[in-house]
Structure 1
């Protein structure tokens, strides 16, 4: 009996002292030869045939992937949904033409902008199907974190005296075009000397939902060279202009667990110079730290952790003045915000460039392509210090990962 008890105690101690770590496979939607594919772990599955797919986006629970079926000429942009449970593609309505669509943060409801009309899908048999009108006159929009309302921008009007202000609204999902339910949220007063804009785009919420960032965008030609990065508090009471940057939505990203906004600052449409990584801390953004070394430009940015940022970096090319725009050959670097140490973590060949870094847990992925051509491979490192390897071959663009905690 004593021996049995001792053996049982040894077994229990061994059982509870050895942690079981299950490797969670990455799940991603991606485009190859204009078709939608799914990768779960090591398995790749083609989901469409004979279409021209772009902009895949995951629903909050990972059951659905919404995407656009377009064409080479850009003359159509039909909204489709792939149902991973039923393993089929379908249209939520007979024909929905849109290029701006977003899933609710907490339910399988899809909102989309069709010609300035904001709509939301209804539900049928557990799937988004049909639609209801929400609001007219919409330039851009984003869900509030509660999934019950939208922040909506309306483009400024051109008056005989010049451009008017940009209006932001707070609109409930069930507004159904009722003006009484649509509430003013904030008015951006613009002028040509300080902050000039005719629209607000690319809304993004901070991790705790207390701040929303966006770009105040001027007229088309001007916006190619400069836009104003702004933040607004969730109650519409505190507004700040953070800095100038180009109109790339992935060049501004909130920290995963703090109200820090990383972005790539700088004016001028060409990437050859003046593109620097900065961090703005809210609520006071007056003092901003610049992290790009002299002689370099940063052309993509991603948070790895609360103290580390990953950038896609190349050497400046100030010598270029005219002729074909030179390719900026980028590699990935980490920036330690506390120690300010910086380290290269990817090593493309001479004719390659690494772009679109993404972090999923401890995994780091990026899109590696050659100078000529748009296709490339997706590479991965399982930790910052691990070896890099190819995760996806011959794809059209960077994948879109399903993140359960997003």
Structure 2
């Protein structure tokens, strides 16, 4: 009898303890000690040395990883590309200074904004190499889903009468600074009473390419407390302000197979209160539902399936009003949209928080970090068995997964 009880206890402990480095069929790039690494399945490979890497991004087919080699002071931001086939880093041009670069959704072509000039890479020996100018006066941009053109924003001008409108343009990849090829797409009329903005940033397309979301961003101090989430149709003929939110691009996510936009609403730069998970239905954005219960804040959102979203949730802290900003100890919660049932699905320890939920295939991943520490572990949960496990240890931030198109 004693042996049977002991075996039962061991089994329970095993089921409730995290597995470390479990077999996971995922591919991701990540940063450890400011260097670029690759993890494929259970195999880790260091890709760079003696650099200061940030913002890695996968190419369309997964052969290349573009990244920035910077420095701790933020005085440089050189664009590099790592070629996984040739196993080497290289610069597509002698020196490219940028912080805003994006891969084409249909091929291995890289677009980047350097000092307000939008450029695209040419090709040499099957690799992105060299560049061509596309357009001047660019504030932010994103590829159209067809990979043949860009949606581009131009920052508003300050006139004697106040700020002018924010203009959006549709520009083909081969524009080559030809103004005749630049087509007006939409003009955002802004004012201080309804919608005030001087730029449009963080463009994201819906799953079917019929809608694009973005943030209409006011002046710097104001934008720290509130921005306007907007949606525009792919033809530029339907524009809708959705709600107010902070300037975090991961706080707005389109559903995987419907024109539903999940986002974290709320004003105020501190996370202690007034941060709620909402979902807006397109084309009628008035159909919005809030899912955050009273007494809590949601500080990130991710779609798990067409009928479920994951949020990073913590208890409110309305009592705080001065001194060091308190840490919000988030755990992940699953929200079933049809039944409105909600449940906690990760259980960090007292001084830990779970952030950056990402869904890849049937896996849910997140970054678990301890309070006041700068490194953490990447955890994964397989939907088929529900077990938690640590996939990558001792990383600087959440990984960037390669997702097959």
What TM-score, normalized by structure 1, do the two folds share? 0.94
Q: 2:157 matched to which residue of 1?
A: 157
- C-alpha distance in structure 1 between counterparts of 2:62 and 2:171, whole Å: 26
1:381 equivalent in alignment to 2:385: no
Q: 1:58 matched to which residue of 2?
A: 58
- C-alpha distance in structure 2 between counterparts of 1:254 and 1:332, whole Å: 19
- C-alpha distance in structure 2 between counterparts of 1:174 and 1:373, whole Å: 46
Decide whether the 8 Å contact of 2:312 with 2:332 is kept in 1: yes
Map Cα deviations across residues 75-128 of structure 1 (whole Å, 9 max, x no partner).
000000000111110000000000000000000000000000000000000000
Gaps of 5+ in 1: 1-22
TM-superposed deviation, 1:385: 5.5
- C-alpha distance in structure 2 between counterparts of 1:34 and 1:384, whole Å: 34
Q: 1:96 matched to which residue of 2?
A: 96
TM-superposed deviation, 1:51: 0.2
Map Cα deviations across residues 168-218 of structure 1 (whole Å, 9 max, x no partner).
000000000000000000000000000000000000000000000000000
- C-alpha distance in structure 2 between counterparts of 1:368 and 1:24, whole Å: 18
Partner SS state of residue 222, structure 2: helix
- C-alpha distance in structure 1 between counterparts of 2:94 and 2:256, whole Å: 39
- C-alpha distance in structure 1 between counterparts of 2:54 and 2:244, whole Å: 29
- C-alpha distance in structure 2 between counterparts of 1:206 and 1:71, whole Å: 35
TM-superposed deviation, 1:287: 2.1
Higher relative contact order (Cα pairs below 8 Å, separated by 6+ residues): 2
Map Cα deviations across residues 240-281 of structure 1 (whole Å, 9 max, x no partner).
000000000000000000000000000000000000000000
Q: 2:369 matched to which residue of 1?
A: 369
- C-alpha distance in structure 2 between counterparts of 1:233 and 1:384, whole Å: 37
TM-superposed deviation, 1:148: 0.2
Q: 2:292 matched to which residue of 1?
A: 292
Trace 1:63-82 onto structure 2 (pairs within 5 A): 63-82=63-82
Trace 1:184-195 onto structure 2 (pairs within 5 A): 184-195=184-195
Q: 1:117 matched to which residue of 2?
A: 117
Decide whether the 8 Å contact of 1:345 with 1:384 is kept in 2: no
TM-superposed deviation, 1:24: 7.6
Q: Structure 1 residues 225 and 317, CA, compared in 2 at 3 Å: closer, same or farther? A: same
- C-alpha distance in structure 2 between counterparts of 1:83 and 1:281, whole Å: 40
- Deviation beyond 2 Å, 4+ runs, structure 1: none
Map Cα deviations across residues 121-172 of structure 1 (whole Å, 9 max, x no partner).
0000000000000000000000000000000000000000000000000000
What TM-score, normalized by structure 2, do the two folds share? 0.94
Q: 1:238 matched to which residue of 2?
A: 238
- C-alpha distance in structure 1 between counterparts of 2:385 and 2:359, whole Å: 14
Partner SS state of residue 221, structure 2: helix
Q: 2:12 matched to which residue of 1?
A: none
Map Cα deviations across residues 215-251 of structure 1 (whole Å, 9 max, x no partner).
0000000000000000000000000000000000000
- C-alpha distance in structure 1 between counterparts of 2:41 and 2:72, whole Å: 31
Aligned residues: 383
Decide whether the 8 Å contact of 1:364 with 1:384 is kept in 2: no
- C-alpha distance in structure 1 between counterparts of 2:141 and 2:236, whole Å: 15
